Amino acid sequence: MTKRVAILISGGGSNMMSLVQDMNGDHPCRPCIVISNLPEAGGLAKAASAGIETLAIDHKQFGKDRSAFESALHDALVAAAPDIVCLAGFMRILSPAFMAKWDGRMLNIHPSLLPKYRGLHTHQRAIDAGDDYHGCTVHEVTAELDGGPILGQARIAIAAGDTTSVLAAKVLPFEHQLYPMVLRRFAAGDRDQVVLGV
Ligand code: GRF
């Protein structure tokens, strides 16, 4: 039975499009909706061009009432009835109460080799730390920020002189390769870690 996938974005949606473009043929999933917390997110137009239902729930309209925003987001997801929710460049921190409602059904991609560098500015932090390697991680989303079970990682070497933007550009193609590979497996019940890169 085909699994329905909702994808949450906040920006350009390159990871979302990688997932969408992979969900065809014998893939066990199909995208059912793309939702953004920013109406101006470029990924919404890309998703619409791909024939996917889109929705913007502007978090700014809810002011400081994060709970109201999360209720609106949850209601929109319930209406779309996804089997799996993929966070793909979604930049709002979701509460443990929200995550609990989607426990076991929500994935995220994070631009670091978790558990290193949870949170923001991961590329700069890896450079500042003098790390030899960096990369990205796909994990199940739990109440712990960027802390759920790891389902896949891609590792790259940090070269001398790499800037934050250079490193981000080196990691992003691996994100686009890793996330679709993990989603295919996760949808089929396979939780063996995917390992890519050096
Ligand atoms: C990516 O680096 C992703 O790891 C981070 O947001 C960046 C942009 O993602 N979460 P996208 O192009 O909007 O998918």
Smallest CA separation from ligand 1 atom 12, residue: 14
Report pTM: 0.96
Which positions are catalytic? 110
Please state the atom number of ligand 1 nearest to the C-alpha of residue 136.
4
Return the H-helix or E-strand segment holding 8. strand 3-9
Candidates 172, 177, 179: which one to mutate for ligand 1, based on the most atoms within 8 Å of Cβ?
A: 172
Q: Do residues 113 and 196 share a domain?
A: yes
d(CA 123, CA 110): 11
Instruction: Give 176's pLDDT tier (boundaries 50, 70, 90).
Output: very high
DSSP 110-141: ESS-TTTT-SS-HHHHHHHTT-SEEEEEEEE-
Six-digit token string for 71: 């209720």
Number of domains in the chain: 2
Atom 7 (ligand 1) nearest CA: 89
For residue 48, the surrounding DSSP H or E stretch is helix 42-49
| Interstrand relation of 133-140 and 106-110 (parallel, antiparallel or unpaired) | antiparallel
Residues 91, 131 within the same domain: no
Q: Is the CB of 28 under 6 A from ligand 1?
A: no
76-131 per-position pLDDT tens digit: 999 999 999 999 999 999 999 999 999 999 999 999 999 999 999 999 999 999 99
89 CB less than 6 Å from ligand 1? yes
Residue at a domain's end among 42, 73, 102: 102
The closest-lying atom of ligand 1 relative to the alpha carbon of residue 9 is: 13
- Measured by CA distance, the residue closest to atom 8 of ligand 1 is 89
Residue 165: which domain range? 109-198
69 and 114 assigned to the same domain: no
